Amino acid sequence: MIKVTIDMDKCQHYGQCCFEAPDVFSLDGAGHIVYVAEVADDRRADVESAADVCPMQAIEIS
């Protein structure tokens, strides 16, 4: 499993991550980011891409 965390002090809720891994990151009705904290290993490439495109560099993966 991959552990995903978003640093909520940094996140500005732009939702760029959602385009790379929509099954992991999404914006709720109020425009706040919601995400799945544990994802299967085969999703690593997309989760890495999401971390790359995050303008606030708020996404941590381990």
Chain residues binding ligand SF4 by CB under 6 A are 6, 11-17, 25, 33, 54-56, 58-59
Compute the distance between CA of residue 1 and CA of residue 32 in angstroms, rounded to an integer.
25
Contact residues for 52 (Cβ-Cβ < 8 A; gap 6+): 20
31 contact choice in ligand SF4, other proteins, none (CB below 5 to 8 Å, kind-dependent)? other proteins
**CA 37 to each of CA 1, 3, 25, 31: distance values in angstroms, whole numbers, following the listed order:** 10, 6, 10, 19
Site for other proteins in 10-39 (CB under 8 A): 12-16, 18-19, 27-31
Residues that bind other proteins (CB under 8 A): 12-16, 18-19, 27-31, 48, 51-53, 55-57, 60
